[in-house]
Amino acid sequence: AQSVTQLDSQVPVFEEAPVELRCNYSSSVSVYLFWYVQYPNQGLQLLLKYLSGSTLVKGINGFEAEFNKSQTSFHLRKPSVHISDTAEYFCAVTRGSNYKLTFGKGTLLTVNP
């Protein structure tokens, strides 16, 4: 079975600062990796995904993530955050193409002025 660890439950940053949200996964087989964002009182929406190919993937709203197989990591980064990026971010993994996702516990990103 696979699992996902998001090392930080909360990350406070100032506006225009860079941010990195950490995600590590465990799986004995190849995986697909995802980052989802959840704004207050809303469902989750996809930020970006890694299925295959280039290990650096770019998503919406200026976010990017790098798949590192040797480190079993998929950290999310943004060079300069905005107040509107305040939300909860979830890393997720699935082994196969059925998209049965296992989610991490989430990281609450709070961007302060």
Whole-number minimum distance, CB 99 to another protein, in Å? 5
Whole-number minimum distance, CB 97 to another protein, in Å? 7
Residue nearer to another protein on the CB measure, 13 or 103: 103
Whole-number minimum distance, CB 92 to another protein, in Å? 8
Nearest to 92 by CA among 21, 39, 14: 21
DSSP annotation string for 25-88? EE-SS--EEEEEEE-TTS-EEEEEEE-SS-SEEE-GGG-EEEEETTTTEEEEEESS--GGG-EE
2 neighbors 95 (Cβ within 8 angstroms): yes
Residue nearer to another protein on the CB measure, 6 or 81: 6
Residue nearer to another protein on the CB measure, 17 or 58: 58
Binding positions for another protein, rule: CB under 8 A: 32, 34, 36, 41-46, 49, 51, 90, 97-106
